[in-house]
Amino acid sequence: MHDEMPHELAPPPAEMPIKTPDWVKHAVFYQVFPDRFARSSRTSHLPGLRFQQWGTPPVNDGYMGGDLRGIVDKLPYLEELGVNALYLTPIFTSASNHRYHTYDYFSVDPLLGGDEALRELLDAAHEREMRVVLDGVFNHTGRGFWPFHHILENGGNSPYIDWFTIQDWPLNPYPTKPNQKTNYSAWWGLAALPKLNTDNPAVREYLYDVARHWIQFGIDGWRLDVPHEIDDDDFWRTFRQVVKGENPEAYICGEIWHEARRWLQGDQFDAVMNYLFTGPAISFFAAETFRNDYKHHHLPFKSIPAEELARLIDRMYGYYDWEINFAQLNMLDSHDMARAAWIVQDESALRLCVLFQMTMPGAPCIYYGDEVGVTGGPDPECRRAFPWHDEASWNYDLLKFYRRAVALRTTHVALRVGELKTLHAEGSIYAFRRQHESEEAVVAFNVSKKAVDVELPLPAGSSNARYRQVWPLESHQSHERTDRGIQCKVPPRDALVLVRELE
């Protein structure tokens, strides 16, 4: 789901230390759209149920039949990829393949295998030290949500009448004419998505109970759908207290497409889906190839040089405390936008974007299938089935690249939680240093089609430091020390990563 323009920044809360879950700072996430990721033969359905044939073109109201046991079956694949955290789009009972139309928040959709399948997934993932974050849709429900159905049956006499905002009678949940408006508050005016009245204490307590229940069940956090539309900081402060009261290390990540200081002051969310990372990354690394005909309200791509990339990155990290920056969910694409490969139209640009993800502060998130070359334009094309049925179509070179890029990040602590300092930003070269107490990494990106020589300054007192090249591994050493820093030859359409251990 998408959100709207920024809300005016609220005044900060009383001074308090900001703390985010430590595991997130070391996580590489993998986003799964459950209906489209994997179908397991171990999930039994009632006889006569029919799904689309796996891999056929996706449609808005079609079901491929992916389920949670399918994810369990593919955990060895994900482990080999190097991911250690999963973010699942909604899994609760719903009448839509994406399940943002919830009608039972306390049950996992039977088509996904039910609660038992979630139990199996959590246990199997935790055995592999993988975390699992679920999608919470608390701003609106589906038409089938039981209190809304109660109102449809009983009208104004329903005890649940104040769970929603009713404007007129009789209710019109199934408009028959184009552009016919609903007569109750609904998300973006869509009749299928009645908006909850979260000013109602009973609604608040119900949603807190949902949050608490699934944390107790064993999930590792919540991604929150359009949380800005619950325009109530106290609601989210209490939500945080409920979640963190059950598990202080649970992750709370909001879907906010713009600057999000209002929610990231330590009293509401730990992080947001960091689309402020997405736009600049694609605009720089795919400056010559991205689709000019792709329009997205929140992602105005434009060709930018390294100087502008550095400015945007510095501004982005300058918004927040570093506890927040290390926990931000850095995206290249998701179920709410066209796939990165489709946008950038060039594999070298995609690779540069991925390597940028893996070397910058914040938890990188891979959208399912990107690593084997799955592509597609806006919804529904961005929600294609993972091609388990056609492994001959996989881009194995790209998959190998993803595994190496993920391993680079997980091997070097400086790339996960090291401080960030820009060293050089000019034309085609963007270089920076990541420094941790035990390790320093120097990273230089080159978007040009020719190798570029650049001298990178280093801190005073490091003139005798010796760096080893960890990317690219297969090439000859491309750097040497000088009196002023490091003289580097950065490969074309690639990056140079140098590391040294600190005493």
Q: Is 5 exposed, middle or buried (0-12, 13-18, 19+ CB in 10 A)?
A: exposed
Count CA within 13 A, CB hemisphere, residue 336: 18
Q: How far apart are CA 112 and CA 43, in angstroms?
A: 8
Which residues, at least 6 apart from 204, have a Cβ–Cβ distance to it below 8 Å? Answer: 198, 235, 238
In this structure, the number of other CB atoms found within 10 A of the CB of residue 166 comes to 18
Task: Write out the DSSP string of 365-383.
Answer: EEETTGGGT----STTGGG
Angle, helices 233-246 vs 201-217, to 10°: value is: 30
Decide if 245 contacts 237 (C-beta within 8 A).
Answer: no
Which parts of 89-150 are beta strand (E)? 92-94, 102-108, 131-136
Active site residue 67: no
Active site residue 225: yes
Decide if 89 contacts 96 (C-beta within 8 A).
Answer: no
Decide if 342 contacts 377 (C-beta within 8 A).
Answer: yes
Decide if 227 contacts 236 (C-beta within 8 A).
Answer: yes
Q: Which of 3, 35, 67, 225 is catalytic?
A: 225
Beta bridge partners of 196: 164
Q: Is 392 exposed, middle or buried (0-12, 13-18, 19+ CB in 10 A)?
A: exposed
> Could you tell me which of 327, 313, 502 has the C-alpha nearest to residue 420?
313
Which residues, at least 6 apart from 449, have a Cβ–Cβ distance to it below 8 Å? Answer: 492, 493
Give the C-alpha distances (Å, rounded to integers) separating 237 from 208, 209, 251, 273: 11, 15, 14, 19
Angle, helices 275-285 vs 306-318, to 10°: value is: 170
Decide if 470 contacts 499 (C-beta within 8 A).
Answer: yes
Decide if 235 contacts 206 (C-beta within 8 A).
Answer: no
Decide if 313 contacts 458 (C-beta within 8 A).
Answer: no
Q: How far apart are CA 426 and CA 307, in angstroms?
A: 5
Q: How far apart are CA 384 and CA 376, in angstroms?
A: 8
Q: How far apart are CA 175 and CA 350, in angstroms?
A: 43
Give the C-alpha distances (Å, rounded to integers) separating 349 from 10, 103, 386, 446: 38, 41, 22, 11
In this structure, the number of other CB atoms found within 10 A of the CB of residue 477 comes to 11
Coil, strand, or helix at residue 494? strand
Q: Which of 35, 255, 323, 370 is catalytic?
A: 255
Active site residues per annotation: 225, 255
